[in-house]
Chains A and B, each alone.
Chain A
Amino acid sequence: MSVATSAAPSKLKSFVSNQQFILFLVLLGMIGIFTAFNRIFFSVSVAGNVLADWGPLVLVALAETFVIVSGGIDLSVGSVCTLSGVVGAFAIRALTEGGMAPYLSLFIGALVCIGVGCIAGVINTLLINYAKLVPFIATLVTLGAAAGLALVFTGGGPIAGGPSQAIQLSVPWLGPISTPIIIVIVICFICWAFLHKSRFGRHTYSLGSNPFATRAAGISIAKQTAKIYVLSGALAGAAGMFFYLRLGSGAPSSGLGLELYAIAAVVIGGASLSGGSGRISGTVLGALILTTVTSGLIIVGVDPNWKQVVVAILIAAAVTIQGLRRSEGKAS
């Protein structure tokens, strides 16, 4: 690359090769293609469907972003989402039967969900920091335990018995946007601030790109790990509450398998699985692309199993682009 270029063209070049811009183009391209096959795709109704799917996925993907940037992995996010939703459902049902006001019971239910997620995060931390398990194994353990407990607690069926306001809250009122989605968008901004504008975020990147230098700089890796995995659990818990609002019940199968799509969203968003790179905006767009594909395939009438093929292609493309950019010496 020639150094003697004027400021404007190199800015344009860096803008165009920016991962987020490419993702945005991919998203627009997909919307265009699906709309070409079925005009109904370009509608507020479909946008609402896409966002309803995006809500829990992006929360779990945000969780995964922090963990992956720090050089770890959290396979338990999907199951923790399920377990939190189930425990929250029990709490909401008990509160509703006890006569509590509907929105208050839902609010407390949300706190319960997040609390369960935090506990799972603490368990992950203990397994990683004290039992010295690698994150893959530690979170695999929590994945199994959480999924199993969800089934044990529920006996297999969904737990309803909450207020009817739960599903009503999921009705979009600001175009395709519903109140829970507004909350998710706010959470996205908070996570963006955490990762990109705070010391916690800098330490997270540092841990992922060079753990030795991080320790040498006097940062407590154990403490940082704890914060990251508890945050991951809390976000997974929030996703569990989101599913509850959507289905009006806590189902023991809702979040299972979500971790794989969360990781896919993070990778498509530009993060490296070896840690040290990745951006919240990338994850947000990656998750949006995935849920657009889900709705698109149904609207267009293609076998939904093609989704997995599409996701695989997107991951491969994302990793390739990232590799190319890295070899050109550009910062991600």
Chain B
Amino acid sequence: MFGLSNMKRSTAGLVAVAGATSLLLAACSSSDTATTASSTTAGGACQGKTIAFVMGAVADPFFNAMKVGAQAEATAQGATLVWQGDKEYSAATQIPVLDQVLATNPSGLVLIPTDPVALQAGFDKAVAAGIPSALVDTKVNDISKAVTFITGDNTDGGTKAADAIATAIGYQDGQKYKVVVGLTSKTATTNVARLEGFQKAIAANYPGITIADIAYSESNSAKANTNVNNWLTKYPDLSGIFAIDGTNATGAAAALQAKGLTGKVALVGYDAYPDNVKLITDGVFTALIAQDPAAEAKQAIQSICTTIGGGTVTTKEVVIPNVVLDKNTSAADLTKYTYVA
């Protein structure tokens, strides 16, 4: 304990010195120090710095697409990217990873918290250590000290999914329809926001639709597949499935195909995994809600570099809009919004 707090104190001291030095250098260098979130390198403030990303489940192409964007931006800024996470999307496994990363004293931190309450302490610790810290995709409850919080518009994604399902099933007032929702996690803010958006849109605009069941697959496609298999049996009159993220979408698509129900049950997925995008043209997916993970990562790193360079990030919460990919989307757009693996 005594040793640890010694290390923390000297770490904090080093960070303070490093921070002061870089501020001095930035002040002495050319005058185009960035002051907004969306500008480019702040006079090379990030040159030679280490930016750590601590993310959710490694086994998710959404995060991999984010990594591609993060790597590109880090290279452009001359910084080293440290990409860490656990294979499970859970706070219990993410907290030790975060602790480890903080112990290496990165120049900047981008956190994708798997739980808004459990990761608050770790996030606050990073901030207290003087590390400019940003949040991407999901957030912790108190983001007041974050450099910025960048996410896709998850509530809007849920709303768009409701619209897509209603259109696909030919919704008519007075008729009754059943849908199910497959999620990954009960607490991850992305999942919660998408579900809320979906539920509100259904309650407001499509009152004939009932959400018959909700289940969690913890980023495991096989689990999602099992859930959907059994739902398709339990609800023979099922109209639609909302698969709230990429792994659920993969599991649900396989289940529909195996049961020969493609086109008969509407399937709206989230995240433009390349293989799922292909299934739009095959008619397996009614629609996919595409985010822009590479843009989220890029903006997060830019904001951190701005802060390291002594600038101020004015846009504290950035919401990147979603795109709905369906059979009417042009081939060019499909390619543009597909996540790069």
Contact = CB atoms under 8 A, between A and B. Distances in A.
Contacts of B29: none
B120 interface: no
A253 B247 contact: yes
Given A45-B233, A253-B59, A295-B230, A160 B275 contact: yes
Q: Chain B binding site: helix, strand, loop or mixed by DSSP?
A: helix
Contact of B250 (A38, A52, A171, A247): A247
B269 interface: no
Nearest to A299: B234
A26 interface: no
B60 interface: yes
Contacts of B87: 147, 151, 252-253, 256
Contacts of B273: 157-158
Given A158-B275, A304-B215, A247 B225 contact: yes
Contacts of B234: 38, 40, 298-299
Nearest to A251: B221
A199 B61 CA distance: 48
Nearest to B222: A254
A251 B59 contact: yes
Contacts of B57: 156, 253
Interface residues of A, number: 41
Contacts of B250: 158, 247, 249, 251
A16 to B, nearest CB: 33
A49 interface: yes
A46 B233 contact: yes
Contacts of B257: 164, 167-168, 248
Interface string B243-266: 000110011011001111000000
A49 B229 CA distance: 6
B19 to A, nearest CB: 33
B258 A246 contact: yes
B226 interface: yes
A43 to B, nearest CB: 7
A157 B213 CA distance: 26
Given A167-B254, A171-B258, A253 B219 contact: yes
Contacts of B341: 155, 157
A154 interface: yes
Interface in A244-289: 246-249, 251-256
A156 B222 contact: no
Given A155-B341, A171-B258, A298-B231, A243 B222 contact: yes
B72 interface: no
A255 B226 CA distance: 13
B233 A246 contact: no
Contacts of B253: 248
Interface string A42-65: 010110110011001000000000
B322 interface: no
B226 A53 contact: yes
B22 interface: no
Contacts of B232: 45
Contacts of A43: 233
A294 B258 CA distance: 19
A170 interface: yes
Nearest to A255: B222
A147 B58 CA distance: 11
Contacts of B94: none
Contacts of B222: 56, 243, 246-247, 251, 253-255
A246 B59 contact: no
Contacts of B60: 156-157
B280 to A, nearest CB: 14
Contacts of A167: 254, 257-258
Given A252-B59, A254-B222, A294-B226, A301 B213 contact: yes
Most chain A beta-carbon contacts within 10 A, residue among B220, B236, B246: B220
Given A46-B230, A46-B233, A154 B59 contact: yes
A157 B258 contact: no
Given A247-B222, A253-B57, 14 more contacts: A40-B233, A40-B234, A48-B229, A49-B226, A49-B230, A155-B64, A243-B222, A246-B254, A247-B221, A247-B250, A248-B257, A253-B220, A254-B221, A301-B213
23 contacts: A38-B234, A40-B234, A43-B233, A49-B226, A151-B59, A157-B60, A157-B246, A158-B275, A160-B275, A168-B258, A171-B259, A247-B221, A247-B225, A247-B250, A249-B250, A251-B220, A253-B220, A254-B220, A256-B87, A294-B226, A295-B230, A298-B227, A298-B231
**Top 4 A-B residue pairs of the complex, sorted by shortest distance between their CB atoms:** A157-B61, A160-B275, A298-B230, A45-B233
